[in-house]
Amino acid sequence: MVKVISIANRKGGVGKTTTAVNIATAMAAIGKNVLILDMDPQGNATTSLGINKNKCLFSTYDLMISNCKIEDAIIKTDIKKFDILPSAPALAAAEIELSDVDKREYILKNALNTLDNKYDYVLIDCPPSLNLITLNALVSSDSVIVPLQSEFLALEGLADLVKNINTIKRNFNPKLEI
């Protein structure tokens, strides 16, 4: 059974992308099949893996907006057993474009359900906000890792995030664990 893990925090620069890429690399190194979904329009995970986000045929934007098949958008990285679904700057507009779409919280979950058991782990690198993209990630996940800096003001953001995660647990995804 595939395990889906989101890496989320509404603050930027706290190590989400670094954590996602390094955990995925470590998992691939011990023989697990891993997929990263780059859900941040900035595309730092995509760039970190040496992929030009402006030259990808499909991206997480197409997955969210145009019913693109997930297998068509997945790219192999140079690391064995490690694939990525790249991001594109257009993803920043997805929330607005999806504003009148029915069941828009479940788009990513439905796409991941078509993956069969090709991967042991799917890691979702979330954008630095609690928007519809992050909601889709958390609705799709078994668990969420929250990287944060050990400073006082980081706790304010964390309290909000925990509240949000609990709301998502209640309304959309009871199995979600921090």
Ligand X SMILES: Nc1ncnc2c1ncn2[C@@H]1O[C@H](COP(=O)(O)OP(=O)(O)O)[C@@H](O)[C@H]1O
Interface residue list for Mg ion (CB under 5 A)? 16-17, 44
User: Is 40 or 83 the residue whose CB approaches ligand X more closely?
Assistant: 40
* Distance of closest approach, residue 46 Cβ to ligand X, in angstroms: 12
Q: Which of 4, 5, 8, 14 binds ligand X (CB under 6 A)?
A: 14
Helices (H), the chain: 16-29, 44-48, 60-65, 70-73, 94-97, 107-112, 132-140, 154-171
How far is it, in rounded angstroms, from Cα 73 to Cα 76?
Answer: 10
In the complex with ligand X, which residue's Cβ is closer, 57 or 178? 178
Residue 44 or 77 with smaller CB distance to Mg ion: 44
Tokens 């799917």 sit at which residue? Answer: 122
Specify which residues 144 forms β-bridges with: 6
Taking CB under 6 A as the binding criterion, the range among 7-15, 23-31, 92-100, 168-176 that sits at the site for ligand X is 7-15
Cα–Cα separations (whole angstroms), residue 107 to 40, 49, 61, 113: 16, 25, 11, 10
Q: Which does 89 bind (CB under 5 to 8 A by kind): Mg ion, ligand X, none?
A: none
* 44 lies in the site for ligand X, by CB under 6 A: yes
Task: Tell the residue number behind the tokens 């098949």, with chain if given.
Answer: 69
Q: Does 157 bind ligand X (CB under 6 A)?
A: no
What is the binding site for ligand X (CB under 6 A)? 12-18, 44, 128
